[in-house]
């Protein structure tokens, strides 16, 4: 296999310790479907085989000791589907198992440049036969329903019988671990009902639906062998034959998965299969090549960071839903952590990468929010708001899934985060049509919620009570600074759009026109003018919320290392009663609204909050790293950067087994673009304040802004911003 290591994520032994992590990291996906990087040959006792369709979920009943109004009854859980990649290979009656068979010369690598996973090894059977086995797999980035596997066997010692069964294994289940809130919960029923399955003219099919949510799906498998005159049993699909010391067999597995949205799926699948493996592979690789042309980040002088950022960008690109009906979950489709839910992670962490490198994908992520506006509308009513929409804290289908409201539903900032995402997209693309057709409606509804929920207090300050900000170690607070800052910005943006609509012939959608007519423009203006931000005049810092600075500071000196992450060891109330932060909050607000604060203010806030932030959330280090760069501490910024970029490749949190940390992966892109290169949008224009870590020779990346592509190259002596031909 190739030695081009900075494009490869690889392993050279079967290692129990790393197996689950590598199952996650070696996932192949295209945003519609995915296969975890498990072996074709079936179970590893310590592995977790996973086959997923983005957006396909089963309901899971939520149980509460005490249940109050508007607590969600059901959560949605991404379902682990029947596994179509399965290959059962036997030689002289002995089954190949990577756990127990005699294996040598093992090598597996994920080629990030082309999105192809390849594995090879030699198997020596107990009867003395030897075979080299090589499997190659990819989830087509061009044909979203298609996965292809090439399974090659080359005997070079011994003789006898062999058999190959290539099938769809239904013995697959969702993972569960009840004592960790970050991992899924156990179903009390089988989430999958198989409606029919069989073999029809060589096509293996399985039609199923989820038990409670009644979502249909289809799995098809076509096996093709390169061997002449082969004896495949027409009932079972099992191939049985004899081998000698130079027998070679190639099995091509064509797999199709769909959510039952296409009537003619079988025909479409057969047509694709008839074009052949090579054709599918070439188209797939070509797509990836094109993606890398505009999304790659090149780092010279730091091999680990180079590989880490590519692995991270690969995962973002392959896991993101691209159809406007699905999104990207906190773990992508690489594992079942957080049950496959989508969070604010999308707009605040991942969206910028797509906005500046692939705006079509960014648009489809925002379209997902538009397409779930109705659910957000009805959620707002359930929560007692007379107008506006409230987006769910965590969800798949647009309905709220969070059962712990203090760190869930109370995070109303999700609304402002979505507004921020729309602004980011619009500023970078000038896509006025998107605003007319969709964006304006979302923004008006988001603002209506704040106008309903916030209140002017007796001093005339606009206050937002009883919410939780990004930092989940302080919940149900008044005037979370992050939230208030983001809301102020959101409403300012909306008012500027309303003004633009009045100046130009607006072309707004009917719904937006209707909403504009009743929108309280004057009240909105007063809100932004009088938005209350909690500020401490003695410390001269922004308080995270009204009560935050009056609490005792957490006793960090007395907290041993094993007690982190704190959420796993202390009751939430203990955390809420202290000044201790899980993740960036005020500091994040100051990054997102760069012109609102002086450098001195940012420095004071950074210094204060850094001391009390545990970074127990993987969404935190990148933000501190970026702000450290802005404040001129490059060394500190680099340290934070390394922690961010390495999170999954080195499994820093020891939970990559449950899936990647997608927001953090995006954070490693932000760390370079916002951090070292210092990109900020000011007055609607790109600005840079570039720096470079002292051990790097050069870094470069591309950005698309207002239909112009730029290449930014920074080395120790020079910064170049080059306009490229689009
Ligand atoms: C973080 C949230 C985040 C979620 C999913 C939690 O640990 O505190 O901010 O949205 O993980 O990534």
pLDDT band at 505 (very low <50, low <70, confident <90, very high): low
Q: What CATH number is attached to the domain comprising 119?
A: 2.70.98.40
Tell how far the Cα of 81 is from the centroid of ligand 1, in angstroms.
Answer: 26
Dmax over Cα atoms in the chain, in whole Å? 90
Residue nearest to atom 7 of ligand 1 (CA): 617
Atom of ligand 1 nearest to the CA of 338: 5
Ligand 1 pocket check: which of 620, 663, 666 to mutate, most ligand atoms within 8 Å of Cβ?
Answer: 663
Residue 209 lies in a domain: yes
Residue nearest to atom 5 of ligand 1 (CA): 330
Alpha-carbon gap, residue 8 to 89, rounded angstroms: 28
Ligand 1 contact, 343 CB (< 6 A): yes
Is pTM beyond 0.85? Reply is yes
Other beta carbons within 10 angstroms of residue 577's beta carbon come to 14
pLDDT, tens digit (0-9, with 9 covering 90-100), for 436-465: 999 999 999 999 999 999 999 999 999 999
Atom of ligand 1 nearest to the CA of 567: 7
Alpha-carbon gap, residue 655 to 550, rounded angstroms: 35
Residue nearest to atom 11 of ligand 1 (CA): 617
pLDDT band at 5 (very low <50, low <70, confident <90, very high): confident
Ligand 1 contact, 512 CB (< 6 A): no
Atom of ligand 1 nearest to the CA of 407: 8
Mean of pLDDT values over 155-182: 88
Residue nearest to atom 6 of ligand 1 (CA): 617
What does the pLDDT read at residue 318? Answer: 98
**pLDDT > 90? residue 176:** no
Atom of ligand 1 nearest to the CA of 617: 7
Ligand 1 contact, 663 CB (< 6 A): yes
Closest CA to 591 of 644, 629, 618: 629
Residue 101 lies in a domain: yes
**pLDDT > 90? residue 105:** yes
**pLDDT > 80? residue 185:** no
Alpha-carbon gap, residue 572 to 435, rounded angstroms: 40
Ligand 1 contact, 482 CB (< 6 A): no
Tell how far the Cα of 36 is from the centroid of ligand 1, in angstroms.
Answer: 22
Residue 160 lies in a domain: yes
Ligand 1 contact, 450 CB (< 6 A): no
Residue 494 lies in a domain: no
Mean of pLDDT values over 518-543: 98
Alpha-carbon gap, residue 34 to 36, rounded angstroms: 7
Residue 66 lies in a domain: yes
What does the pLDDT read at residue 44? Answer: 85
Place of tokens 């003395």: 128
Residue 45 lies in a domain: yes
Other beta carbons within 10 angstroms of residue 245's beta carbon come to 12
Q: Are 647 and 682 in contact (CB under 8 A)?
A: no
Partner residues linked to 219 by β-bridges: 206, 257
Place of tokens 């806030």: 605
Q: Are 141 and 167 in contact (CB under 8 A)?
A: no
What does the pLDDT read at residue 232? Answer: 85
Tell how far the Cα of 269 is from the centroid of ligand 1, in angstroms.
Answer: 38
pLDDT, tens digit (0-9, with 9 covering 90-100), for 238-249: 999 999 999 999
Ligand 1 contact, 619 CB (< 6 A): yes
> Structural domain tally of the chain?
1
Domain range spanning residue 252?
A: 5-265
Residue 424 lies in a domain: no
Residue 529 lies in a domain: no
Alpha-carbon gap, residue 309 to 298, rounded angstroms: 9
DSSP code string of 175-205: ---TT-TTS----SS-SEEEEEEEEETTEEE
Concerning whether 23 is annotated as a catalytic residue, the answer is no
Comparing 188 with 417, the larger pLDDT belongs to 417
HSE, side-chain direction, 13 A CA sphere, residue 456 = 11
Ligand 1 pocket check: which of 617, 644, 667 to mutate, most ligand atoms within 8 Å of Cβ?
Answer: 617
Query: Which residues does 139 contact at the CB level (< 8 Å), separation at least 6?
Result: 28, 29, 30, 33, 34, 35, 115, 146, 147, 318
Tell how far the Cα of 428 is from the centroid of ligand 1, in angstroms.
Answer: 26
State the pairing for strand pair 116-124/102-111: antiparallel
Residue nearest to atom 12 of ligand 1 (CA): 330
Mean of pLDDT values over 213-231: 91
Atom of ligand 1 nearest to the CA of 472: 8
Mean of pLDDT values over 470-496: 98
């Amino acid at each position: 296999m190739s030695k081009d290591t900075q494009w490869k994520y690889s392993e050279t032994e079967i290692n129990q310790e790393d197996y689950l992590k590598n199952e996650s990291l070696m996932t192949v996906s295209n945003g519609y479907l995915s296969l975890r990087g498990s072996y074709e040959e079936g179970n590893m006792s310590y592995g977790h085989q996973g086959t997923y369709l983005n957006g396909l979920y089963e309901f899971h009943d939520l149980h509460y000791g005490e249940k109050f109004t508007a607590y969600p009854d059901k959560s949605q859980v991404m379902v682990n589907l029947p596994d179509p990649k399965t290959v059962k290979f036997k030689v002289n009656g002995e089954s190949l198992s990577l756990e127990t068979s005699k294996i040598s010369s093992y090598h597996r690598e994920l080629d990030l440049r082309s999105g192809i996973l390849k594995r090879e090894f030699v198997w020596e059977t107990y009867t003395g036969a030897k075979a080299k086995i090589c499997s190659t797999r990819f989830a087509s980035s061009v044909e979203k329903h298609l996965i292809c596997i090439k399974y090659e066997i080359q005997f070079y010692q011994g003789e006898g019988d062999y058999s190959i069964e290539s099938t769809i294994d239904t013995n697959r289940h969702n993972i569960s671990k009840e004592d960790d809130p970050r991992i899924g919960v156990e179903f009390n029923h089988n989430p999958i009902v198989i409606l029919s399955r069989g073999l029809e003219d060589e096509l293996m099919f399985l039609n199923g639906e989820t038990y409670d949510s009644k979502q249909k799906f289809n799995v098809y498998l076509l096996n093709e062998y390169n061997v002449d005159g082969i004896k495949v049993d027409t009932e079972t699909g099992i191939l049985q034959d004899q081998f000698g010391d130079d027998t070679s067999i190639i099995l091509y597995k064509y797999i199709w998965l769909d959510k039952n949205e296409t009537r003619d799926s079988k025909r479409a699948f057969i047509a694709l299969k008839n074009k052949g493996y090579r054709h599918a592979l070439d188209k797939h690789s070509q797509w990836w090549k094109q993606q890398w042309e505009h999304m790659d980040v090149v780092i010279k002088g730091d091999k680990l960071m180079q590989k880490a950022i590519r692995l991270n960008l690969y995962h973002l690109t392959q896991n993101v839903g691209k159809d406007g009906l699905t999104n990207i979950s906190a773990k992508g489709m690489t594992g079942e952590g957080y049950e496959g839910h989508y969070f604010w992670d999308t707009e605040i962490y991942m969206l910028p990468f797509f906005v500046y490198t692939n705006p079509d994908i960014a648009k489809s992520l925002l379209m997902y929010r538009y397409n779930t506006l109705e659910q957000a509308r009805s959620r707002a009513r359930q929560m007692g708001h007379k107008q506006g929409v409230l987006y769910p804290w965590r969800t798949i289908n647009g309905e709220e899934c969070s059962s712990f409201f203090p760190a869930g539903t109370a995070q109303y900032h999700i609304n402002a985060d979505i507004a921020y995402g729309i602004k980011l997209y619009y500023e970078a693309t000038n896509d006025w049509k998107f605003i007319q057709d969709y964006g304006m409606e979302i923004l008006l509804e988001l603002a209506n919620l704040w106008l309903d929920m916030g209140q002017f207090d007796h001093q005339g300050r606009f206050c937002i009570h009883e919410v939780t900000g990004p930092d989940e170690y302080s919940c149900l607070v008044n005037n979370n600074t992050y939230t208030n800052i983001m809301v102020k910005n959101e409403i300012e943006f909306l008012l500027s759009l309303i003004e633009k609509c009045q100046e130009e012939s607006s072309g707004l959608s009917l719904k937006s026109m209707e909403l504009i007519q009743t929108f309280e423009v004057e009240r909105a203006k007063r809100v932004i003018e009088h938005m209350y931000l909690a500020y401490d005049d003695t410390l001269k810092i922004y308080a995270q919320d009204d009560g935050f600075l009056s609490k005792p500071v957490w006793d960090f000196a007395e907290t041993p290392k094993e007690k982190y992450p704190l959420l796993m060891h202390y009751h939430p109330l203990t955390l809420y009663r202290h000044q201790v932060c899980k993740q960036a909050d005020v500091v994040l607000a100051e990054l997102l609204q760069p012109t609102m604060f002086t450098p001195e203010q940012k420095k004071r806030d950074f210094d204060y909050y850094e001391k009390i932030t545990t970074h127990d959330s993987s969404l935190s280090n990148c933000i501190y790293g970026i702000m450290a760069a802005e404040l001129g501490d490059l060394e500190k910024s680099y340290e934070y950067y390394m922690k961010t970029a390495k999170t999954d490749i080195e499994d820093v949190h020891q939970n990559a087994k449950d899936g990647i940390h997608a927001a953090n992966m995006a954070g490693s892109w932000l760390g370079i673009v916002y951090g070292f290169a210092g990109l900020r949008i000011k007055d609607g224009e790109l600005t840079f304040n570039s720096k470079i870590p002292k051990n790097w020779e050069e870094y470069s990346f591309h950005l698309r802004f207002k239909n112009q592509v730029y290449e930014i190259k920074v080395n120790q002596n020079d910064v170049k911003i080059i306009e490229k031909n689009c």
